Chain A
Amino acid sequence: MLKSQFTARDWGSNPKYLSPSYKSTILRSPTKPLIPLKQTLSEITGPVFGHHSIKPLDNDLTQNGITDGREPLGERIIVSGKVIDEKGRPQRSTLIEIWQCNSAGRYIHSNDQHNAPLDPNFFGGGRCMTDENGYYKFYTIKPAAYPWGNHPNAWRPAHIHFSLFGPAYATRLITQSYFPGDPLLELDPIFMATPKSSRNLLIKQFSIGASEEGFALGYNFDFILRGPNATPMEN
């Protein structure tokens, strides 16, 4: 039986572990070189999540956190796109999980001490599976910028956190997606830790076509995961 290995992580596209302007990397980044591992069955297999594990409102953050019958405050948006590999092949039935702060820049997480208000009707977590063509869609509230302690007057640009699996342990990805035209991007050490040539891959594109008339503006955001290597491996 022949199985495919996956292409290497793209070191020209990904941030380096040590990016000193993002201070938390200083004590948390590995200092020794990674040891190359020739992929085995352990790396080319991966967990499987069934469509049955997703509930109807899991991809609708404008509805799944309502506690007092009213909708969350803020601007409704639609974030949709597709998950493909480096050759453009759709990644079907793969799990996407998201989490974000509310329209005031506050996370529901108990460790978030920013004194912006919580919204009793916004939770900020959701998930969905890609369809048979690799497409996904979320309804949410546009997140806001918020301050953080990295350096004086430091602000995170508005972003949504995304977690994806893809077909294998090797294709795991956690990232953040930003909004076009945000002046905070070039001041953000997390965004700026990404090589310049791939930063645009972290920014959503406004799409009037993805908008729903009278309801919400749409943004497009595609994910490109590691794909199978051209050379299959012999088992």
Chain B
Amino acid sequence: MSLKQTPSQTIGPFFSYGLTPEQSNYPNLSSLSTNSLLTGSTIGEEIRLEGRIFDGAGDIVSDAMIEIWQTDAEGRYPDQQSSGKTNSNFSGFGRCDTGVDSQNKYIFETIKPGQIDTETAPHINVTIFMRGLLLHVFTRIYFSDEGRSNSADAVLSTVPFDRQKTLIAKKVAGVTPVTYVFDVFLQGENETVFFDI
């Protein structure tokens, strides 16, 4: 006999003073996690990950919270279930409020994740919450410069080929730090792939 799961409800428009207080300029609370996963002693290639979220009318969503969960540069999660040990000083988790940036981008400073195994390309797990989403959506970010491992990825290969591009962040040429852009489309021709996990 199983109990029913507590239903999800929308995060609503006013989450930021509780969930992203420092980033959103509410100094009463400290932030438990921010949009920078770098600690100064994090090992790996530092990257900037940014993008915007578009609704079905093509408008940019300015009141979303986006969370990321990723391995360290060696493909290890900082979690008891993970078989290996991660290097210390890397939480693997970040949070960003799209209402802060003047163009309503989400921006993360992190490291490029490593590869967990040969069937898993480097990727970042993404959870998105916003007013109008009664239930959060899950997606994944892969990297445009990882073509070989992307083509061997067990999850990406289950996605119809013409939609796989919605899961691949594009590397921006010639900028420092190395920057990848990943826009999210909630609806429309290029609707991002969302997973039932």
Report A's interface with B, CB cutoff 8 A. 1, 3, 7-10, 12-17, 19, 22, 24-32, 34-49, 53, 55, 58, 64-65, 84, 86-88, 95, 97-99, 101, 107-109, 111-112, 123-127, 161, 163, 167-170, 172-176, 190-191, 193-195, 197-199, 201-202, 222-227, 235
Contact = CB atoms under 8 A, between A and B. Distances in A.
A62 B88 CA distance: 36
Contact of B19 (A9, A37, A86, A99): A99
A47 B194 CA distance: 21
Contacts of B138: 37
A124 to B, nearest CB: 7
Of all A-B residue pairs in the complex, the 3 with the closest CB atoms, nearest first, are A99-B18, A24-B132, A28-B132
Nearest to A200: B4
Contact of A194 (B7, B55, B197): B7
A16 B5 CA distance: 14
Contacts, number: 252
Interface of B: 2-19, 21, 26, 28-30, 32-33, 55-57, 59, 61, 63, 67, 69, 77-83, 91-93, 99, 116, 120, 123, 125, 127, 129-138, 140, 154-155, 158-159, 186-187, 191, 193-197
B7 A201 contact: yes
Main secondary structure of the interface of A (DSSP, over half): loop
Contacts of A12: 4
A191 B134 CA distance: 10
29 contacts: A9-B197, A13-B7, A14-B135, A24-B131, A28-B132, A28-B133, A28-B187, A35-B193, A37-B138, A37-B155, A38-B155, A45-B77, A47-B92, A48-B80, A53-B32, A58-B29, A101-B14, A108-B17, A109-B14, A111-B13, A123-B28, A126-B29, A167-B81, A173-B8, A174-B10, A175-B7, A176-B12, A190-B9, A235-B83
Given A14-B5, A30-B186, A34-B195, A190 B10 contact: yes
Contact of A25 (B11, B15, B61, B133): B133
A122 B72 CA distance: 39
B14 A112 contact: yes
Contacts of A14: 5, 7-8, 134-135
Contacts of B197: 9, 37, 39, 43, 169-170
A19 B158 contact: no
Contact of B187 (A31, A37, A41, A170): A31
A230 B11 CA distance: 31
B57 A8 contact: no
Given A25-B132, A168-B81, A30 B3 contact: no
A42 B132 contact: no
Nearest to B167: A35
Contacts of B158: 35-38
Contacts of A175: 6-9
A95 B195 contact: no
